Amino acid sequence: AFCESSIREVILPASIIKIGRRALASNTNITKVISLNPTPPEIDPRTFDSNVMESATLYVPRGSLKLYFIDPVWKEFNNISVLCLQAIPNAKYGDGEIDLSQYAPEGIALTYQSSNEDVVRINGSSMRIVGAGEATVVAILDEDGPTTELVGQLRTIVVDFFSEISRTT
């Protein structure tokens, strides 16, 4: 289907259960494969080129890392260590604190930051809406080196004068 195209990123929706043989072959530019299905889709060993499996990062949903590690084909990806964040729930002014660690990858400690403490306050992994305006909440993983990118690590939060919050990614 996408053999020999110039795509750099592949996003597989949760509804994908099987990917055909050589569907993404000869795409040496792929750097990210994001699978939103908690159950690894069935793939052939030749779905991706081996250099993609060696160099691209595979992102998987929280709670499914083990399933991808034990799958005979998906386990061939060398980089499966960074996982997707789950969506932060909607909230409004006056709600209690939200524990952001519930939405983080399994077993990975993150540092959270708000771009606007007048709208969203972060205390450790707790987030609270404190006023109207716009803020971006960022999750950062820093393991002995540069900050590692996480899929879905940004959440822009807009709180209007009616105390409702909308979320964009």
The per-residue pLDDT for range 96-118, each reduced to its tens digit, is 899 988 877 655 667 888 888 99
Distances (CA, A) of 59 to 27, 56, 68, 81, 92: 18, 10, 10, 8, 30
pLDDT for 158 beyond 70: no
For position 20, what pLDDT does the model report?
Answer: 87
User: How far from 91 is each of 51, 97, 111, CA to CA, in Å?
Assistant: 43, 9, 20
* Whether residue 154 has pLDDT greater than 60: no
Do strands 120-123 and 57-59 pair parallel, antiparallel, or not at all (unpaired)? Answer: unpaired
User: Is pTM beyond 0.85 here?
Assistant: no
* Residue 106: both structure tokens together: 């399994």
Q: How far apart are CA 94 and CA 163, in angstroms?
A: 8
Q: Please report the pLDDT score of residue 66 as a whole number.
A: 86
Tens digits of per-residue pLDDT, 32-88? 888 888 899 999 998 888 888 888 888 887 778 889 989 999 999 988 765 556 667
Q: How confident is the model at residue 132, as a pLDDT?
A: 85
Partners of 1 in beta bridges: none
pLDDT at 43: 94
